[in-house]
Amino acid sequence: MEPARVHPVLSILGSKYKPFHENLSNRTHIILLPEAKTLVNISIDIDFMKKHICYKSHLKNVYINLAGQSIEIDAKCVCTGYGFEESRICEILKIETNANYRFLKIIFINIPLEGGYQDSESASYINDEVGQTDIQTHKQEDNHFSNPAWGEPNAIQWKHDVTLFFKQNGNCCKCLHTQLLQFSHSYIIVKGFENCIGKKISNMVEDTLKLQSTANERTFKSDIRMPLIKYTYSYLYNIIWKQLTKNYQQIEHRVQEKMNYVRKDISGFLKKLNLGNISMFHVETTAFHIKQIEKCNNPIDKIYILDNISKIICEIISCTNQNLKKQNLKIYDINSDSLISILVAAISFGQIKNIISHSIHLHMYIDNLKASEKIDKLSFVFTIFHSSIIYLCDMKEA
């Protein structure tokens, strides 16, 4: 990794954009520096600078860059948010605190926040790592299959776990992909009985785990089960999703019309529910996050997104309440009703596609969890999402 003093972005910032640089505050501004090798074909102009320089917002872990876009930063990752064309997760490589560069912090990340970049890593670890198994043959036999598009969060880690597991347990790899091939030729999704597909997927993973060696069982313990479930759902995503959206296309169309109705006057909708002080910026931010569910091909990542959204909405209400207190106005309760109302507004603003199918996809997984796995938090998060959809379905247009 390049030291800060020789990084090309800082060099260009200090020479070509010196007046702009000198106006930045070392008490508030943070700069995100992608690895220099990823910037080979990128124009490091003022637009690039503004997108990679940010300051803290009033929301936890949320920052705003100088282009007005939102960025989430935690201990390990930097994630693009509202205003960016695509959702991207950048790994944090190093953090420096150096006032000499007029920044509160310098955060080194593995890739830029947006745009193309030089990447030497292979797009598909399955082809590279498990090429000696029957998976390649199976993929050639059935063009329904596609490479799993790895979801977030911790995509790198569980990708590595599955790869390692398959390398050390060739019989498990063969068993799982034989079942996947059989499923692709025989599956039937009956409307209203989608949990049977979830049960089938759960059984596939359990059958696969039974074949692992004793030594590997001690190595992976139960930690490999979740990555394998994500892998299986991701692998079968195309054929499952095509059938789900076909089965529910009529009701999806009706719900979309309800979203369009709410979207025409989001502020008016919130006022009717006594939430008129929730800002449009907060609705738009929540909408950006809920829209990421469209990119997920397994229900576990969808649950992660919903959990994150519930936290964001709670924080939005808390921040709004702080402003209401200053004006001696009545504050909002943080309860299921307020969360559902704001989520309905966000879903409608974001025009989430196939929302019913997303809910059914989640049901497939959640309905097949053991009682011990159905923690209260999971039940609450899913209930809020499901209730928001029911609200839209039952809502009457004026």
- Which DSSP string corresponds to 33-66? EE-GGGGTT----HHHHHHTEEEE-SSTTEEEET
Best mean pLDDT range from 42-51, 255-264, 289-298: 255-264
Which segments of 105-238 are extended strands (E)? 105-109
Q: What pLDDT is recorded for position 76? A: 87
Give the pLDDT band of residue 266 (cuts 50, 70, 90): very high
pLDDT tens for 177-225 read: 999 999 988 888 899 999 999 999 999 999 999 988 765 555 555 578 8
Tell me the pLDDT of the chain averaged across its residues: 83
3-state secondary structure of 21: helix
CB 87 within 8 A of CB 103: no
The most confident of the ranges 39-43, 317-321, 379-383 is 317-321
How large is the average pLDDT for residues 1-21?
A: 77
Residues of the chain with CATH 1.20.1050.80: 248-394
Per-residue pLDDT at 70 exceeds 90: no
Using DSSP, state whether 3 is helix, strand or coil: coil
Q: Regarding beta strands 53-56 and 77-80, do their DSSP bridges make them parallel or antiparallel, or are they unpaired?
A: unpaired
- Dump pLDDT digits (tens) for 105-152: 999 999 999 887 765 443 222 323 333 333 333 333 333 333 333 344
* Burial label, 8 (beta-carbon count in 10 A; 0-12, 13-18, 19+): middle
Averaged pLDDT, 7-12 = 85
Contact criterion met (CB below 8 Å) for 72 and 288: no
162: Cβ–Cβ under 8 A, 6 or more apart, which residues?
224, 227, 228, 231
Listed range (56-65, 95-104, 254-263) with the worst mean pLDDT: 95-104
Q: How far apart are CA 232 and CA 230, in angstroms?
A: 6
- CATH annotation of 248-394: 1.20.1050.80
For residue 98, pLDDT over 80 is answered with no
Check residue 131 and give its pLDDT.
34
Tell me how far CA of residue 179 lies from CA of 79, 105, 203, 210, in angstroms: 36, 50, 10, 14
- The pLDDT assigned to 165 comes to 87
Instruction: Find where tokens 């139960």 sit.
Output: 222
CA gap 5, 196 in Å, rounded: 58
- Name the pLDDT band for 99 (thresholds 50, 70, 90): low
Q: Is the pLDDT of residue 306 over 80?
A: yes
Higher pLDDT: 258 or 382? It is: 258
* Stronger pLDDT, 232 or 373, i.e. the higher one: 232
CA 348 → CA 213, 287, 289, 391, distances in Å?
A: 50, 8, 13, 12
